[in-house]
Structure 1
Amino acid sequence: MHPLHFPRHADPLRFWRRIAPDRVALVDRARGGRQTYAQLDAAADRWAGVLRARGIGRGGIVAALAGNRRELVELFFACGRIGAALLPLNWRLSAAELAPIVADARPDLLIGEFRFRAQAEAASADAIWIDLDDEAPRLLAAGYETVDDVEVDADDPLLILYTSGSTGRPKGAVLPHRQIHWNAVATTTAWELTADDVAPVSTPLFHTGGWNVFATPLWIRGGTVVLMDGFDADGFLAAFEEEGCTVALTVPTQLMMLMESPRWGRPLPRLRRFVSGGAPCPASLAARVREAGYTFREGYGLTECGPNCFAISDDEAVRRPGSVGWPVPFLEMRLEAEDGSEAAAGQPGELLLRGPQVFAGYLRNPEQTAAAFTADGWLRTGDLAMRDADGAYRICGRRKEMYISGGENVFPAEVEAALCDCPGVAEAVVVGVPDEKWGEVGRAFVVARADAPLTEAEVAAHARTRLAGYKVPKTVFILPEIPRLGSGKPDRRALAAMEPAAPVGA
């Protein structure tokens, strides 16, 4: 790609501080702070001064080990102004898990909360630490000299997000200015976001969903982001009412938790829609959201592209259950069949993506970067999708999650959707496990709803009424909760390795 410059005035805070300085840019619910565009802009400048005083400039990496708090947003914009990249670390990881990430990234500085300091020091004895709760306030008050923002190239890193490592060693996905900018432009266009929109962000900021589903798109439009330090169903819905939220990202598990809140079903006059992402949403769950009087759409994306890759209207979302719609502007797509040819309409194929919303590669990992792309530059998502005759897409699931039972392809997402229709089931995850007779068979793990008794036999019987025989899980287990990765997605490797007592055959 031809190198493009992102001039200093491309920073959206620089624009909105002049046009609408008193408009609220950020609400920190956990700490009660509210920042206008002018205040957030000034705070980013103060951090830029602190980072420059530490010798950090273009090409530098600033790591952060903290929950969702306003300082991470200030650091994000400060890093953009000096040409550095922000690396938000997963605070859920142990020191032993963090150590190889810090060693791989080699950050110039580690900024974090006191509650994570021992964890950080155990992960890296050499990291230079700035404590957000102690040292940072004094540094920010020092009044470092203001310096002009640097010009950066489109492919210069702005965010580095490490994968959860479900298939091996974590990799640092480099999100350049180009990706974040074009995802924001495409999202505000295709999802019809405006300066009047207000979005809660409870997804951790070590995840692309925390930054790039609604936050960076809304800041480019002059909207408002409501930052929440963790997901709590009652608190999430309270924020909707109190802050006048209009759009929100959830994952299916969170939707189920919201439905158990006494606040669920109350009128939310400013709400335009819920968007579900992170995993396919069962049709029955989507129907329950709409029955409560709320508008609902499904989205799709990944750290390495977008993450907002499709768009669909509210009406089409009702008419096409499970569909994510059509490609957003600037993004090309194709479906690759097993033999490398283009998959026909109605046939599954691996989703390949190409456009300015694609990431710049994995940090210091040219081999994995090369493996992520085809020879002609398409990003391999590893996800299987199908395209309708009129070009609308639906996601089938991960290629690596698909298993073959008796010679037939089985997509876990389809089986999970059927199981979630069983009365009493709150959540279901299906994995393929080896079987002497069939090669592979399904093993289902379900979580019961709090208000409904449930047995494995009932789930197995329900599956037989909804699915072809080869799709029916051979065993069903009821768990109190599903183990999860740092991203919040089910830990399928851990589930596949489980051998809970007393399985019920399907």
Structure 2
Amino acid sequence: MTSTVPAAVLSAARAFGAAPALVQPGGDRLTYDELLGEVRRVARALIAAGLQPGDRLALWAPNSAHWVLAALGASYAGVTLVPVNTRFTGVEALDIITRSNARALVVTDVFLGVDRLAALTAAGPDPLPGLVVQVPSQWDAFLAGGDAVSDAEADARAAAVGANDLSDVLFTSGTTGRSRGVMSAHRQSLAVAAAWAGIAGLNPDDRYLVVNPFFNSFGLKAGILACLVSGAAIVPQAVFDVPRTMELIARERITVLPGPPTLYSSLMDHPDAGRFDLSSLRLAVTGAATVPPALVERMRKELGADVLTAYGLTEAVVATMCRAGDDARTVAETSGRAAAGFEVSIAEPGGEVLLRGPNTMLGYLDDPVATAAAIDADGWLHTGDIGRLDEHGYLTITDRLKDMYICGGFNVYPAEVERALARLPQVAESAVIGVADPRLGEVGKAYIVCRPGLDLGEAEVIEFCRGRLAGYKVPRSVELRAELPHNASGKVLKYLMRAEAADG
């Protein structure tokens, strides 16, 4: 197996040549031979712009062919990739770009009605990187800048990349609310990609619709890189839209479609579902929330696809996964067994899920204290999730040690939301919990204690958060309280609030 992303690009061109690699807007396709050529062009342009091996490129854009080419081109030039969540506000995105010390930025033009570059410019005093490329408007001019650099020079840069060199830094919020940059080496990113592709049975006949965001570890590694090592075709979708997704499945004869459980129920329940031929689907992979056995059976019957569940986190990407042939209850009630070389253990007392293996993150960027807290002296990664293993080694996640909840497949850390709420002058104290939602799984509910003589309305709180937090982090409801429940040390007893909300 190849051990660097540039080597994987070269290997894919040799092995899969004329097979389709990437479907672009409008249905145009790049073969794996052509993908190599385009990746080289990006690398040449980055070299011409002065980027050196080990420099970092931030990428703030939705799923697209440009995203794939920019990411792989950066790796080919020996540059470390720093994806940025497209749901972030300008303030949040600029924080990531600044802390990662990115020397280059590829940023989308207007997306979902927001001019992302303007949002960054307005976000604060921190300067933007020296190289800024807007896509698609400046893409061709950017590539033309690399005409003075030869293919041989780009290939030499690619050959110099080592298996242990830093491949990517993926930022994920910690339970304290501060985002942390998870560092992975090339060998690790490719190993988890190959493991996922192997269990999923990806091959050059597959057409993989990637709805999971590329900025997420799953979208990047179990999406782009998994296709690269298996020869499957990448079909990016920028925003999940049910009719558009069904149209893509039918037109492109999509065979593989991972996503949260709500994605599949949305497809099957849509009134136009009967208008589209979805029979090409062979595999659905889900997770991030409880999956009812009835949904698994329904997916298998109505979509005609095998269904697998998996468990992972940015620090490990894919840790466990079901296997083909597992029954509906196993798929629904467990997250599968160890994958990608991981060992899985349950810590006692407490039941925390621990992971150990060659693909555990290198550590958190510029944060040795947090790294030491996450990975103990014996190499076990402490996940913060509570679970159990059955006699066959299948993992069931039963709870969370921390307060994190999952909204529409995205992790939300209440401390980050509470930190934003603390900026409201009326707020004396706040607590945020996740409450059940039939569409998104969980949504945020904020409990607020106002300062004496001051008051707040729900709409005012929500609007305030919208200007400072990604949409999935914004509380959907607000309740004003005279006081919050505390223990003897002053910690808010959120389990009481969760129980009350569940009984509610």
TM-score (norm 2): 0.75
Alignment match, 1:119: 119
- Judge which range, 141-150 or 192-201, deviates more: 141-150
- AA in 1 matched with 2:242: A
1:397 pairs with 392, 399, 422, which one? Answer: 399
Q: Which residue of 1 aligns with 2:11?
A: 15
Q: Does 1:209 find its partner at 2:218?
A: yes
Q: Which amino acid aligns with 2:87?
A: R
> Given the alignment of the two structures, is residue 232 of structure 1 paired with residue 241 of structure 2, yes or no?
yes
Letter in 2 for 1:330: G
Per the alignment, residue 59 of structure 1 pairs with 54
Residue in structure 1 matched with residue 437 of structure 2 by the alignment: 446
C-alpha distance in 2 between matches for 1:224 and 1:448: 30
Please state how far the C-alpha of 1:46 moved relative to its aligned partner.
Answer: 0.8
What's the CA shift string for 1:445-483, capped at 9, x where partnerless? Answer: 43479xxxxxxxxxxxxxxxxxxxxxxxxxxxxxxxxx9
Q: Is the 8 A contact 1:198 1:246 kept in 2?
A: yes
Matching residue's letter, 1:145: S
Partners of 1:280 and 1:401 in 2: CA distance: 17
Q: Which amino acid aligns with 2:170?
A: L
**2:59–2:67: 8 Å Cα contact kept in structure 1?**
yes
Name 1:475's counterpart in structure 2: none
* 8 Å contact from structure 1 (residues 110, 127) kept in 2: yes
Choose from 327, 337, 341 the match for 2:348.
Answer: 337
Counterpart of 1:409 in structure 2 is none
Q: 1:251 to 1:399 in 2, by over 3 A?
A: same
Which residue is equivalent to 1:99?
94
Q: Distance in 2 between matches of 1:376 and 1:97?
A: 34
The Cα shift of 1:369 comes to 1.4
45-54 or 95-104: bigger deviation = 95-104
Q: Which moved more, 1:277-286 or 1:211-220?
A: 277-286
On the 8 A contact 2:278/2:303 being kept in 1, the answer is: no
CA contact (8 A) 1:382 1:399 kept: yes
Cα distance change, pair 498–90 in 1 and its aligned pair in 2 (3 A): farther
Q: Aligned equivalents of 1:359 and 1:311: distance in 2?
A: 22
8 A contact 1:202–1:229 mirrored in 2: yes
Match among 268, 275, 295 for residue 285 of structure 2: 275
Deviation at 1:489, TM superposition (A): 10
**Match of 2:122, as an amino acid?**
A
Contact 2:388 2:395 survives alignment (8 Å): yes
Counterpart position of 1:367: 369
Does the residue aligned with 2:364 lie in a helix, a strand or coil? Answer: coil
Q: CA deviation at 1:64?
A: 1.5
Deviation at 1:73, TM superposition (A): 1.1
Distance 1:65 1:111 in 2: 6
CA distance 1:489–1:219, shift in 2 (3 Å)? farther
CA deviation after TM superposition for structure 1 residue 505, in Å: 5.2
Share of identical aligned residues, percent?
28
Local SS of the residue matching 2:136: coil
Q: Deviations over 1:407-455 (max 9, x none)?
A: xxxxx99xx9xxxxxxxxxxxx9x9xxxxxxxx9x98443479xxxxxx
Shift of 1:401: 4.0
Indicate how the Cα distance of structure 1 residues 135 and 230 shifts in structure 2: closer, same or farther if over 3 A, else same: same
Contact 1:25 1:37 in 2 (8 A): yes
Greater fraction helix: 2
Q: For residue 457 of structure 2, what is the aligned residue in structure 1?
A: none
Q: How many Å separate the matches in 1 of 2:83 and 2:229?
A: 21
Matched to 1:285, the amino acid is L
Match of 2:143 among 114, 129, 140: 140
Instruction: Identify unmatched segments of 5+ residues in structure 2.
Output: 111-115, 415-430, 441-464, 482-499
Match of 2:311 among 300, 305, 308: 300
Query: Is 1:47 paired with 2:45?
Result: no
- Change in Cα spacing, 1:77 to 1:360, as seen in structure 2 (3 Å) is same
Unpaired stretches in structure 1, ≥5 consecutive residues? 340-348, 403-411, 417-428, 432-439, 450-482
**Equivalent residue, structure 2, for 1:465:** none
Q: 1:269 to 1:126 in 2, by over 3 A?
A: closer
| Residues 389 and 7 of structure 1: CA distance in aligned 2, closer, same or farther (over 3 Å) | closer
Question: Corresponding residue for 2:199?
Answer: 190
Query: What is the aligned counterpart of 1:169 among 164, 178, 186?
Result: 178
- Inter-partner Cα distance in structure 2 for 1:57 and 1:399: 41
SS in 2 for 1:163: strand
Output the amino acid matched with 2:261. P
After TM superposition, the structure 1 stretch with the greater mean CA deviation from structure 2, 376-385 or 148-157, is 148-157
* 1:73 maps to amino acid: V
TM-aligned CA distance change 1:131 to 1:179, over 3 Å? same
Secondary structure of 1:214's partner?
helix
1:386 corresponds to which residue? 388
Q: Give the superposition deviation at 1:280.
A: 2.8
In the alignment, is the contact (CA less than 8 A) between 2:435 and 2:501 conserved in 1?
A: no
Count, aligned residues: 424
Secondary structure of 2:327's aligned partner: helix
Q: Is the 8 A contact 1:58 1:83 kept in 2?
A: yes
SS in 1 for 2:335: strand
Distance 1:160 1:20 in 2: 29
TM-score (norm 1): 0.75
Question: Which residue of 2 is the match for residue 421 of structure 1?
Answer: none
Q: Deviations over 1:381-428 (max 9, x none)?
A: 1112211112222222322149xxxxxxxxx99xx9xxxxxxxxxxxx
1:313-364: CA deviation from partner (whole Å, max 9, x where unpaired): 234345553122221242211111226xxxxxxxxx2111111221211111
Q: Distance in 1 between matches of 2:256 and 2:106?
A: 31
Distance 1:284 1:301 in 2: 23
- Asked if structure 2 preserves the Cα contact closer than 8 Å seen for 1:276 and 1:298, the reply is yes
Q: Which residue of 1 aligns with 2:252?
A: 243
Q: In the alignment, is the contact (CA less than 8 A) between 1:197 and 1:246 conserved in 2?
A: yes
Q: CA deviation at 1:141?
A: 2.6
Check whether the contact 1:175–1:359 (CA below 8 A) recurs between aligned residues. Answer: yes
Whether the 8 Å contact between 2:44 and 2:77 is mirrored in structure 1 is no
**Structure 1 residue 496 displacement after superposition:** 8.8
CA contact (8 A) 1:6 1:151 kept: no
> Does the C-alpha gap of structure 1 residues 498 and 255 become closer, same or farther in structure 2, counting only changes over 3 Å?
farther
Contact 2:87–2:470 (8 Å) recurs in 1: no
Report the Cα offset of residue 281 of structure 1: 2.2
Q: Is the 8 A contact 2:23 2:30 kept in 1?
A: yes
Distance 1:350 1:398, change over 3 A: same
Q: Distance in 2 between matches of 1:361 and 1:97?
A: 21
Shift of 1:250: 0.9
Match of 1:419 in 2: none
